[in-house]
Amino acid sequence: MLQKKKMKENDVGKVAIYAGSFDPITYGHIDIVERALEIFDRVIVAIAHNAEKRALFSVDERLKMLRKIFEHTPRVMVDSFKGLLVDYVAKTNAKVILRGLRATSDFEYEFHMASMNRSLNTHLDTLFMMTNKDYFFVSSRTIKEVASLGGAVEGLVPDLVVRRLKEKFKLPVTKKKQIGWDD
Ligand code: ADP
C-alpha cells in the first residue's frame, strides 16, 4: 500500500496548485511561485473563471500572458478552471493548494476559504506563504488602478504585463517626461 502510494507520487513528484484571478499577474504572485518551486516538484498556476469578478483581461488573455511568463520554467504549468477549486484539484495529482498572504486583511478570507475547501475535501491542505517584503503592497487591483491613471507599475509586474496594461488603457508607451520650471 505504502509502496504503491510512493510510486504514484514518484510519477510526478509533489504538486501544488496556485489558483487565483491573476488579473493581471504581479511579481508578488511570481515570487510565491518561485519560492514554492523550492518545496514542490511542480506548481500548477490555475486561473479561476470567476463570473462574479469583472476582469480586465479575459481568461484567454491571462492564459497567454502567464504561459509566456513561465515559458522557461518547465516545472510550472499554466491552466484555467471553472467551478469549484476542490473539483479541479481532484483531477490533478496535487494535494496542496498554495496561497499567498499579504496582510492580516487577507487572513480572514483565506482562513474561511481554506476551512471550506478542507471540509469539501479532507485530503486537501492549504499552504500559506508570506508575501515578500518588496511586494506586500502589490495587488492586481491596485496595479490596475494605478496603471489606468498612467502611473508607473514597472518593477511590480513583468514588462509584458506593463505593455498589455498600456494597450488596455490605450496609454502611449513613452519615456518618462522630465518636469522642469520651463514646462
Ligand atoms: P484572488 O483573486 O483570490 O484575490 P489573486 O489572483 O489576486 O487572488 O491572487 C492569488 C493568490 O495570490 C491569493 O492567495 C493572494 O493572496 C496571493 N497574492 C496576491 N498578491 C500577492 C502578493 N503581492 N504577495 C503575496 N501573495 C499575493
Q: What is the pLDDT of residues 100-142, one digit of tens each?
A: 999 888 889 999 999 999 999 998 999 999 999 999 999 999 9
| CA–CA distance, 127 with 107 (Å, rounded to integer) | 13
For residue 53, what pLDDT band results from cuts at 50, 70 and 90? confident
Q: Mean pLDDT lowest for which of 7-16, 43-52, 81-90, 142-151? A: 7-16
- Could you tell me where the DSSP H helices lie in the chain? 2-12, 27-36, 59-69, 85-90, 104-120, 140-148, 159-168
Residues of the chain with pLDDT > 90, as a percent, come to 76
pLDDT of residue 67: 98
Pocket of ligand 1 (CB under 6 A): 20-22, 26, 28-29, 32, 99-100, 102, 106, 131, 135, 138-140
Q: Which atom of ligand 1 is nearest to the CA of 50?
A: 2
Give, using CA atoms, the residue closest to atom 5 of ligand 1: 20
Give, using CA atoms, the residue closest to atom 23 of ligand 1: 28
Specify the pTM: 0.88
Can you read off the three cell numbers belonging to residue 41? 516538484
Which carries the bigger pLDDT value, residue 104 or residue 92? 92
CA of 153 to the centre of ligand 1 (A): 17
| CA–CA distance, 128 with 117 (Å, rounded to integer) | 14
| CA–CA distance, 24 with 18 (Å, rounded to integer) | 14
